[in-house]
Amino acid sequence: MPVWKPIVPSGEAPLYERIADAIEQDIRDGALPSGTRLPPHRDLAHALSVSIGTVTKAYGEAERRGLLVGHVGRGSFVAGRSHGAAASNGPVDLALNLPAGGPGPRHFAEALARLRRRSDLALAAEYAPPEGLESVRRIGGQWLQSRHGVAIDPAEIIQTNGGQHALALAFGAIARPGETILCEAATFYGVKTLAEVVPYRLHGVDLDAGGLKPAALEKAIAETGARVVYTIPTLQNPTTITMTAARRKQIAAIARKRDLLIVEDEAYRAIAAPEDRPPTFTELAPDRTIHVATISKAFSPGLRLGFLRAPTSAIREQILHHVRAIGYAPPALGALVFSQWIEDGTADLIADQIVQDALARSDVARRILGSAMTPPGSQQSIHVWIPMSALDAERAAGRALRAGVELTPPDAPIVAPDKISGLRVCLGGAPDLVALEAALTVVAQALQSDVGHQTRALV
């Protein structure tokens, strides 16, 4: 049997760390499933033409990261979940919507090593302008152009602490407490939380395969007098629907006619294939759209970095006023790390891998869940949606949890329960493709159980 031989990346990090990075990558890609026994130190050292000591340090580093488990006399094995869905440390998390992968210890080590030579590093210890450092906003413009296909002048960009912060700033600038905000009938749970705290009244608008229904939006405006609509137009959360180009033009026309402001949340746009990214509302109605973007879904949620563009100077000033009141200015260090990764090409390499992983995981979901799930608005998505009655969704989620798989609570994204219900299944939480397949098999079985109680069968 041939010895497993990792592809060791180049870089400035020590060789043993790069071998550990290769182990991590192969685990992520499914080349090393949970429970796989790695080659003995001597065999891998011979295959890589390195010393046994280097392999020993690499395995030790991989164990420190939680990737491997060593057993005296037996060898080193890939940690994580067994072929069953559940592990002793808890259920497989298909509830939290995160990308699989992202920057690892090697990336941070290399970025920090290069960052110390940057002339703007000292700025990280000072108060930044409320809109963020100019260098970070310039990088933000590059990211939006290359990964979103959206051209926004860096001078118009406001740096935020992720998408949630950007949405709080946007709503705070254009909506009063107690005011009604229109949104899709099922939406991002963070907006529901924001609405509870401020508070705002959320009014769910019906949607179909093309996105928000124009007639339903017109009716909601007439009934509520709302001045603001919040939408996730690309790979909508939770339904994965991508609003069509024609529908976006219709919604933009309604916004002009009704003097409606649009808050456009493009959290998932960087995941979608370029051909699955219709023009943004910022392009169709720049004078009445607040554009919100984040790196959380296509790069890293932990860096807490987002970008916001306001439609007018007056709204921009209101947003900056809120920035000063809440935190004075965005922190610079994490943003400078991201800037370094953009400039040296690391960000594109990581983002490309995340998109490829999203495609592979979406393929697994399509194969196992079949027609039970709504076809996503792009072939690659980090979550899928299974429409069903609220009662069936609660039952299926409970059965899955008892079998070791945690799903998003069915009522979490729902704003208008009379219009929509179902289950969101997030694909990034399983440690590898093998574990994901096992977890999704549990979900499929949960959907098929008690078919007498099901209102929608799994085909």
Q: Examine the domain organization and report whether 392 and 431 are in the same domain.
A: yes
Kindly state whether residue 101 falls inside one of the protein's structural domains.
Answer: no
Q: Examine the domain organization and report whether 406 and 337 are in the same domain.
A: no
> 149-198 pLDDT, tens per residue?
999 999 999 999 999 999 999 999 999 999 999 999 999 999 999 999 99
Q: Examine the domain organization and report whether 148 and 281 are in the same domain.
A: yes
CA-angle at 228, arms to 177 and 222, nearest 5°: 105
User: Domain boundary at 304, 319, 344, which?
Assistant: 344
pLDDT number for residue 74: 78
pLDDT number for residue 88: 41
Q: Examine the domain organization and report whether 156 and 27 are in the same domain.
A: no
Is 203:212 a contact under the CB 8 Å cutoff?
A: no
Kindly state whether residue 112 falls inside one of the protein's structural domains.
Answer: no
Kindly state whether residue 89 falls inside one of the protein's structural domains.
Answer: no
Query: What would the DSSP string read from start to end of 205-217?
Result: E-EETTEE-HHHH
We report the CATH number of the domain holding residue 69 as 1.10.10.10
* Cα 147 to the center of its chain, rounded Å: 14
Pick from 325, 355, 339, 369: nearest CA to 169: 325
Q: Examine the domain organization and report whether 170 and 157 are in the same domain.
A: yes
Q: Examine the domain organization and report whether 390 and 331 are in the same domain.
A: no
Q: What is the DSSP letter of 5?
A: -
Phi, psi of 204 (to 5 degrees): -75, 130
pLDDT number for residue 251: 99
Q: Round to whole Å and give the CA distance between 191 and 268.
A: 15
pLDDT number for residue 203: 99
Q: Examine the domain organization and report whether 140 and 276 are in the same domain.
A: yes
Phi, psi of 304 (to 5 degrees): 50, 70
Domain tally for the chain?
A: 3
pLDDT number for residue 3: 63
Q: Round to whole Å and give the CA distance between 390 and 408.
A: 13
Kindly state whether residue 305 falls inside one of the protein's structural domains.
Answer: yes
Q: Which residues, in sequence order, are CB contacts of 396 under 8 Å at separation 6+?
A: 386, 388, 407, 423, 443, 446, 447, 449
We report the CATH number of the domain holding residue 146 as 3.40.640.10
Q: Examine the domain organization and report whether 266 and 161 are in the same domain.
A: yes
Boundaries of domain holding 27? 1-80
Is 273:378 a contact under the CB 8 Å cutoff?
A: yes
Look up residue 302 and give its two tokens: 């932990």
> 95-143 pLDDT, tens per residue?
999 999 888 777 888 888 888 888 888 888 888 999 999 999 999 999 9
User: Domain boundary at 326, 344, 362, which?
Assistant: 344
Q: Round to whole Å and give the CA distance between 156 and 295.
A: 18
Kindly state whether residue 45 falls inside one of the protein's structural domains.
Answer: yes
Kindly state whether residue 414 falls inside one of the protein's structural domains.
Answer: yes
Q: Is 104 helix (H, G, I), strand (E, B) or coil?
A: coil
Q: Round to whole Å and give the CA distance between 6 and 20.
A: 9
Instruction: Flag residues of the chain having pLDDT under 50.
Output: 1, 81-88, 450-459
pLDDT number for residue 36: 87
Structure pTM?
0.82
Q: Examine the domain organization and report whether 264 and 293 are in the same domain.
A: yes
Kindly state whether residue 180 falls inside one of the protein's structural domains.
Answer: yes
pLDDT number for residue 398: 93
pLDDT number for residue 130: 96
Q: Examine the domain organization and report whether 317 and 388 are in the same domain.
A: no
Q: Examine the domain organization and report whether 203 and 335 are in the same domain.
A: yes
pLDDT number for residue 90: 65
Q: Round to whole Å and give the CA distance between 413 and 185.
A: 9
Q: Round to whole Å and give the CA distance between 435 and 137.
A: 38
Pick from 223, 293, 221: nearest CA to 251: 221
We report the CATH number of the domain holding residue 404 as 3.90.1150.10
* Cα 45 to the center of its chain, rounded Å: 37
Q: Examine the domain organization and report whether 337 and 354 are in the same domain.
A: no
User: Domain boundary at 80, 108, 129, which?
Assistant: 80
Kindly state whether residue 91 falls inside one of the protein's structural domains.
Answer: no
